[in-house]
Structure 1
Amino acid sequence: MPTGVALHDPRAQLVAAAERLLATSGAAALTSRAVTDEAGVAKGVLHRHFADFDDFLAALVRARIQQADGAGEHLVATAGSGTVVGNVSAYLTVTLDPVALAVVALVTARDELRRRLRETTPEGLPLLVEITAALATYLTAEQSSGRVAPAAEPRYLAMTVVGTGHLMFAGELGARPDDAAVREVVESVLVGVLR
């Protein structure tokens, strides 16, 4: 006799539950019990689909990286349209949302999770590395179109924008910044290289 409801995609359901918890309660609240409770499933479901909790967390981080990669592809496609400051500001707002900030905190706090993520992100801080790489690709495209100065260094500009953006979105200003504050910070970093 069946003891529960069939799950259509339990891995995705668990990841979505973890993202909801990260958005509302932060990285410290993320436990296997909290995730399964939020997903409305038995605790054994997580362990049936993942080797252990760090395996689950690695899947969660990789899902966020995949989302960031999609946003990065969209950003690169905007090269030559809109404004560079507007495009970069919108990208930061999308990729450095509360869940992403909690994921970065989670990766920073868990040695075993970082070790497992080295398989796909061998250097740097997973998620921030991918966000930075996409931004550098975009700035390189804008450089090719003549909207960013030829002498600019897209990789270093991207590192500066993402690092500053991370601090700002993590609460450097006391709260999540509004659009005007994001644009102001992006413009202050890029002002010397925009044409």
Structure 2
Amino acid sequence: MAPRRAAVLRDDDRSLREHLIATAERMIAATGATGLTVRAIARAAGVADGVLYNHFADKEELLAAALRAHVDTVRSGMDPLPAAGTGDLAANLRAYLDHGLALHRAILPAFTGLLGQPAVLARFADGDQGGDWRAELAAYLAAERDLGRLAPTADVDTAVALASGVCHEVVLSTMFPHAASPRVPTEAVVTAILHGIA
């Protein structure tokens, strides 16, 4: 005889674990992760507090899974990135940079709410990193280099660090109330990466 489904899932195909992750993800997306408690997640999910520990080793595991789900949800709503060997190189790099900026704007607030919880961030980093924008940009640039559309000596890692740094600078500065927002036109960043600075 199959075990009875939880009352909150009677009309839902998800498992209780998936329901808990989705609930925590919704809460992170709506209000961030600062002060998010097991009790608040359980109440929002419609279950008793202790139920979470039947499906997760601890709160950190649940929050890391919810954070991964949040990133995946944001990524799924974004346009696909250009493939190597297609289109104009500068336009493609601009698309990657615009994608990175949009992604960082959408997900960094959730991460900043977890800065005081390094165990959650460590669990997130240890998990499946599929859909990592930095890795995708690095793979794209390496493929363009292999195709001969970038110089054979092109330093892909430094180009990725520059693009990522721009995303962090632009987005993080908006989180400080009196900080001046840097104005870094995407076109200028693309030119600096493609042509280097002498």
Q: TM-score range by the shorter chain?
A: 0.5 to 0.7
Alpha carbons of 1:64 and 1:138: their partners in 2 closer, same or farther (altered >3 Å)?
farther
Check if 1:18 corresponds to 2:24: yes
Select which of 4, 7, 12 maps to 1:4.
7
Alpha carbons of 1:150 and 1:97: their partners in 2 closer, same or farther (altered >3 Å)?
same
Structure 2 CA distance, aligned partners of 1:143 and 1:2?
Answer: 53
Give the Å deviation of 1:59.
1.9
Question: What are the Cα deviations for residues 17-41 of structure 1, in whole angstroms up to 9, with x where unaligned?
Answer: 2222222222214222332333344
Alpha carbons of 1:3 and 1:61: their partners in 2 closer, same or farther (altered >3 Å)?
closer
**Amino acid across the alignment from 1:159:** A
Q: Secondary structure at the match of 1:109?
A: coil
Instruction: Please give the TM-score of this superposition, normalised by the length of structure 1.
Output: 0.68
- Give the 5 Å matches for 1:24-63: 24-63=30-69
Structure 1: tracts of 5 or more residues without a match: 176-180
Check if 1:108 corresponds to 2:110: no
Name the residue aligned to 1:140.
Answer: 142
Give the Å deviation of 1:187.
2.8
Check if 1:89 corresponds to 2:97: yes
Structure 2 CA distance, aligned partners of 1:89 and 1:160?
Answer: 10
Q: RMSD value over aligned CA atoms?
A: 3.9
Give the Å deviation of 1:135.
1.4
Structure 2 CA distance, aligned partners of 1:164 and 1:119?
Answer: 25
Pick the structure with more helix per residue: 1
Runs of 4+ in 1 over 6 A off after TM superposition: 67-72
Structure 2 CA distance, aligned partners of 1:49 and 1:193?
Answer: 46
Structure 2 CA distance, aligned partners of 1:192 and 1:110?
Answer: 36
Q: Equivalent pairs: percent with the same residue?
A: 29
- Give the 5 Å matches for 1:141-156: 141-156=143-158
**Amino acid across the alignment from 2:117:** R
Alpha carbons of 1:154 and 1:64: their partners in 2 closer, same or farther (altered >3 Å)?
farther
Name the residue aligned to 1:178.
Answer: none
Alpha carbons of 1:113 and 1:127: their partners in 2 closer, same or farther (altered >3 Å)?
farther
Q: Secondary structure at the match of 1:30?
A: coil
Structure 1 CA distance, aligned partners of 2:95 and 2:169?
Answer: 19
Structure 2 CA distance, aligned partners of 1:21 and 1:59?
Answer: 13
Alpha carbons of 1:187 and 1:45: their partners in 2 closer, same or farther (altered >3 Å)?
farther
Structure 1 CA distance, aligned partners of 2:174 and 2:85?
Answer: 29
Alpha carbons of 1:132 and 1:143: their partners in 2 closer, same or farther (altered >3 Å)?
same
Structure 2: tracts of 5 or more residues without a match: 178-182
